[in-house]
Amino acid sequence: GDSVTQMEGPVTLSEEAFLTINCTYTATGYPSLFWYVQYPGEGLQLLLKATKADDKGSNKGFEATYRKETTSFHLEKGSVQVSDSAVYFCALSTGGATNKLIFGTGTLLAVQP
């Protein structure tokens, strides 16, 4: 069945460091891909998305490129801030009758000043 595998955490970085969180997927058809973020004490929020191969999603300095050939959607940011500390979830949706999301297990990012 469809699934998402993402890098295990926690990931601990110093402020201004470069961030990569790896995400790969298995899906039939052509899924849409998402990164959600959960800040402490808050609900899940959509961070960025890409709906077709080679699309790049971007928001708040974060980027991810939909790579069909490697079935990947890695999240990157050039310079992290303490305020980026959160749990990041990679997810896919194959659309269809439900458009439900299938999530990875989440990666905790801790950014130290």
Partner 1 sequence: GAGVSQTPSNKVTEKGKYVELRCDPISGHTALYWYRQSLGQGPEFLIYFQGTGAADDSGLPNDRFFAVRPEGSVSTLKIQRTERGDSAVYLCASSFAKNTEAFFGQGTRLTVV
**Which residues contribute to the site for partner 1 (CB under 8 A)?**
4, 36, 41-46, 89, 91, 95, 97-106
Q: Which is nearer to partner 1, 66 or 89 (CB)?
A: 89
Q: Would you say 26 or 79 has its CB closer to partner 1?
A: 26
- Residue 2 or 17: the one with the smaller Cβ distance to partner 1 is 2
Neighbour tally for 7: CB within 10 Å:
18
Cβ atoms of residues 88 and 7 within 8 Å: no
Q: Distance between CA atoms of 92 and 64, rounded to whole angstroms?
A: 13
The first and second tokens of residue 23, run together, are: 């995400």
Q: Which is nearer to partner 1, 90 or 111 (CB)?
A: 90
Q: Round to whole Å and give the CA distance between 103 and 89.
A: 7
Nearest distance from residue 104's CB to partner 1, in Å? 5
User: Minimum Å distance from CB 99 to partner 1?
Assistant: 5
Least separation in angstroms between residue 22's CB and partner 1 is: 15
Smallest gap from Cβ 105 to partner 1, in A, equals 5
- Per DSSP, 8 falls in state -
State the DSSP code for 83: G
